[in-house]
Chain A
């Protein structure tokens, strides 16, 4: 029988994969994709928790997270385009102008 624990562990592992992507990759687009993985890991735990408590609130907050993810993707990708126009590279190491 699959319990809430299995879903939460899966969610935790997915979240760790997402953080690993942000830590290890040096490509702005892949870093944004890793953030999407993390948001989806959280979504999974929300839906599993809602199922456990027998309420639809878990699914509803998932829709809000999806909306925030869409807004984040739109603004993030706009920033990537603006940055790429400056230096023709997607490596975050190239954008250190604000570093003291």
Chain B
């Protein structure tokens, strides 16, 4: 049963991600990326990580994607220039597709050579991974320094975004 769900969610994620890079309209790209994140959240649930799945939906699909949508609507740029600049040469697009396919094939090939490693089904381990209390205590003890640094990062990013996107000084 898990196998069926894995392939369903994997298909949703891959098709939606391909849609993201295939759409001309950025608005559709953002919407498809939200669908892709939904598929990933399903995969996290299959991996016994329900808290991460919920965070994925709330933070990623809920907050970060709204930020993207907000900017797409603000800039009102619904199309992309079709013409490829002459400096790139006539085969630029084909070469890019080829290189990306090459990367995908290489990564998949390398990973298929790794011996099959199944997941443990020990109920104790599974319930420890699922536990939000376990995640919380680990986050605030072992990883407390990284957690604090993260808050500084957010502060710097916030100030930086305001400074960069704010109006130039003379116009104020």
Residues of A within 8 A of B (CB): 1-10, 12-21, 23-27, 29-30, 32-34, 36-37, 40, 43-44, 47-48, 50-52, 54-60, 62-64, 66-75, 77-82, 84, 89-91, 93
Contact = CB atoms under 8 A, between A and B. Distances in A.
Interface residues of B, number: 83
**Would you call the interface of chain B mostly helix, strand, loop, or mixed?**
helix
Contact of B80 (A3, A27, A75): A27
9 contacts: A3-B118, A9-B107, A20-B100, A21-B21, A37-B36, A56-B128, A57-B138, A66-B55, A73-B68
Contacts, number: 234
A40 B40 contact: yes
Interface string B87-129: 0000001001101110110011001101011111010010011
Contacts of A33: 20, 26, 29-30, 33, 68
B82 to A, nearest CB: 10
Contacts of B135: 56, 59-60
Nearest to B143: A60
Contacts of B139: 60, 63
A24 B100 contact: yes
